[in-house]
Amino acid sequence: KAGVTQTPRYLIKTRGQQVTLSCSPISGHRSVSWYQQTPGQGLQFLFEYFSETQRNKGNFPGRFSGRQFSNSRSEMNVSTLELGDSALYLCASSLTPMNTEAFFGQGTRLTVV
């Protein structure tokens, strides 16, 4: 079956702009989690959605938000981009929240200039 699909793969934005990233989970998976990976901070948890509801959130400012649709696809949005938001954004899907194996997409590489 198809894996986790993230689009776009690469993105370049200017400071102050906003960006929306998309994640389509494995068919049948209802939980989607988002992570940010940077050289300085490593992998950090952003938030998790299950059945269209945000279950929890990491320590990120309100500029980072997300949502999940009825087909389990998820989007995350970053407003008022800062240079420090440049990172690899990864999403993972699992059958149920955080208590089963998680499978990751290839990520979206965001560069803010």
Partner 1 sequence: GIQVEQSPPDLILQEGANSTLRCNFSDSVNNLQWFHQNPWGQLINLFYIPSGTKQNGRLSATTVATERYSLLYISSSQTTDSGVYFCAVEETSYDKVIFGPGTSLSVIP
Residue of the chain from 22, 65, 86, 106 that contacts partner 1 (CB under 8 A): 106
| Residue with the two structure tokens 């690469």 | 10
Task: Please classify residue 21 by burial: count the beta carbons closer than 10 Å to its beta carbon, then call 0-12 exposed, 13-18 middle and 19+ buried.
Answer: buried
Nearest to 13 by CA among 69, 57, 63, 72: 63
Q: Please, which of residues 13-52 interact with partner 1 by CB under 8 A?
A: 33, 35, 42-45
Q: Which of 19, 90, 110, 112 binds partner 1 (CB under 8 A)?
A: 90
Any contact of residue 60 with partner 1 (CB under 8 A)?
no
Smaller CB separation from partner 1, 79 or 104:
104
The C-alpha atoms of residue 105 and residue 34 are separated, in whole angstroms, by: 10
Smallest distance from the beta carbon of 16 to partner 1, in angstroms? Answer: 27
Please name the residue that has the structure tokens 């560069």: 111
Residues forming contacts to partner 1 in the complex (CB under 8 A) are: 33, 35, 42-45, 55-56, 58, 88, 90, 92, 98-104, 106-107, 109
